[in-house]
Amino acid sequence: MAGEILDNKGRGEAGWNWPAIHPEGRKFGLIAAAASIFVLLVLGWELIGWPMLLASAGVFAFFRDPERVVPQSDAAIIAPADGIVTRIETVEPPLELQIEDGSGHAGLPAGLVTRVSIFLSVFDVHINRTPVGGTVRRVVYIPGRFISAELDKASEENERQHILVERSDGLKVGFTQIAGLVARRIVPFVKPGDILAKGQRVGLIRFGSRVDVYLPAGTDAAVMIGQRMIAGETVIATIGQRGLIEGIAQ
Tell me the pLDDT tens digit for each residue of 196-249. Answer: 999 999 998 876 689 999 999 999 999 999 999 999 999 999 999 999 999 999
Q: How far apart are CA 143 and CA 159, in angstroms?
A: 4
Q: Considering the domain delimited by 76-238, tell me its CATH architecture.
A: Distorted Sandwich (2.70)
Q: pLDDT value at position 173?
A: 98
DSSP string, 174-215: EEEEEE-SS---EEE---TT-EE-TT-EEEEESSSEEEEEEP
Q: What is the pLDDT of residues 101-112, one digit of tens each?
A: 888 999 999 999
Please give the positions annotated as active site. Answer: 209
Q: pLDDT value at position 155?
A: 66
Every domain of the chain and the residues it spans: 1-70, 76-238
Collect all residues with Cβ–Cβ distance below 8 Å to 25 and sequence separation of at least 6. Answer: 59, 60, 62, 63
- Say whether pTM exceeds 0.85: yes
Q: What is the signed CA dihedral for 123, 127, 132, 133, rounded to 10 degrees?
A: -160
Q: How many CA atoms lie within 13 A of 129 on its CB side?
A: 29
**CA quadruple 121, 125, 127, 133: dihedral positive or negative?**
negative
Q: pLDDT value at position 200?
A: 97
Q: State how far Cα 103 lies from the chain centre.
A: 25
Residues of the chain short of pLDDT 50, as ranges, are none
